[in-house]
């Protein structure tokens, strides 16, 4: 396979536009790999394509960040972690390919002529010490972008959507006119999500990739995404930055703040919801046994 190499972003870009350009560029790298497969007749080995995607997107992003912001630290799923980043003032938190399995799958029956799945993403976030946002710790998410390359979309913090645009749609949930729609894993929904699905007022919407699930809240495809199986910071940093910028509520499952750029980048759970439905969803979670902290945001 050849490796497409889009031009690196202009270092003069501000952090928000730079995050967008980085996510878009890595997405072009990934789509180029799929195009190589199609040009060769359409057959492929899934593991080979997954590995190629992870490696190519990581290599391009690492070089592009180093050129644009050589003094910044990086935390990436596909690179060795340097603990010195916890003392840095600026840290890029990156997932070069979120939804690796979905990237290397075709829809339908998987025939060489079937279309590729479109539910994978590229995550690029910037954590900055001293940034005051809804996350916790000594800093916050100052910029972020989630690219959905197969849909030719990039959700960003510098050109955010607005949760208020969805107010009329979510009011129907509170009125009992439609179920609460929750993004869920196609294959591994947590037990409490399965319990929620047994309620008449909840509908699960299966999809892949944590990033796709979170931006599906942002664009109104679903009302919420709740996760309890554990993730790493790179799985949620950019999607949470985009969702916060749009006005959605993003916390731990129990309502406590998310924290990023910690020594251990493991995050046990995640709650992302339209703000008008947060109390409604927390009540439902409590009814299926999820502990909610007193004073949690609602």
Residue 97 known to bind ligand: yes
Burial of 87 (0-12, 13-18, 19+ CB in 10 A): exposed
Beta bridge partners of 128: 90, 140
Is residue 241 within 8 Å of 212, Cβ to Cβ?
Answer: no
Q: What is the spatial distance between Cα 39 and Cα 267, in angstroms, rounded to a whole number?
A: 40
Strands laid side by side in the 121-129 sheet: 73-76, 90-98, 121-129, 139-148, 153-156
Q: What is the spatial distance between Cα 176 and Cα 191, in angstroms, rounded to a whole number?
A: 24
SS3 per residue for 75-126: EECCCCCCHHHHHCCEEEEEEEEECHHHHCCECCCCCCCCCECCCCEEEEEE
| Residue 53: partners with Cβ closer than 8 Å, 6 or more residues away | 30, 33, 96, 97, 100, 103, 104
Radius of gyration for the alpha carbons in the chain, expressed in angstroms and rounded: 19
Residue 95 known to bind ligand: yes
Residue 269 known to bind ligand: no
Return the closest-CA partner of residue 156 out of 166, 167, 169, 143: 143
Report how far apart, in Å, the C-alpha atoms of 10 and of each of 17, 18, 36, 124, 226 are. 10, 8, 27, 16, 36
User: Which residue positions form the known binding site?
Assistant: 77, 95, 97-98, 235
User: Which residue positions form the known binding site for Mg(2+)?
Assistant: 77, 95, 97-98, 235
């Amino acid at each position: 396979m050849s490796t497409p190499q889009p031009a690196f972003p202009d270092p003069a870009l501000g952090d928000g536009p730079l995050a967008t350009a980085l996510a878009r560029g890595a997405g072009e790298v990934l789509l180029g790999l799929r195009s190589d497969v199609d040009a060769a007749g359409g057959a492929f080995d899934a593991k080979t394509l997954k590995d190629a995607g992870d490696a190519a997107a990581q290599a391009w992003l690492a070089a592009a960040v180093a050129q644009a912001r050589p003094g910044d630290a990086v935390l990436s799923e596909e690179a060795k972690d340097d603990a010195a980043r916890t003392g840095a003032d600026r840290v890029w938190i990156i997932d070069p390919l979120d939804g690796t399995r979905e990237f290397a799958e075709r829809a339908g029956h998987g025939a060489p002529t079937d279309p590729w799945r479109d539910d994978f993403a590229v995550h690029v976030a910037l954590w900055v010490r001293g940034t005051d946002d809804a996350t916790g710790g000594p800093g916050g998410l100052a910029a972020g972008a989630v690219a959905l390359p197969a849909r030719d979309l990039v959700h960003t913090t510098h050109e955010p959507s607005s949760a208020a645009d969805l107010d009329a749609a979510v009011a129907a949930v509170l009125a009992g006119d439609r179920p609460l729609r929750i993004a869920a894993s196609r294959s591994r929904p947590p037990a409490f999500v399965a319990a929620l699905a047994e309620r008449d007022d909840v509908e699960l919407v299966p999809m892949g990739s944590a990033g796709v699930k979170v931006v599906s809240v942002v664009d109104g495809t679903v009302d919420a995404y709740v996760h309890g199986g554990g993730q790493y910071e790179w799985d949620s940093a950019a999607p949470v930055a985009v969702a916060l910028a749009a006005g959605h509520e993003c916390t731990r499952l129990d309502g406590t703040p998310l924290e990023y750029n910690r020594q251990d980048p493991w995050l046990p759970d995640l709650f992302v919801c339209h703000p008008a439905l947060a109390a409604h969803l927390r009540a439902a979670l409590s009814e299926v046994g999820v502990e909610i902290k007193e004073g949690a945001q609602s």
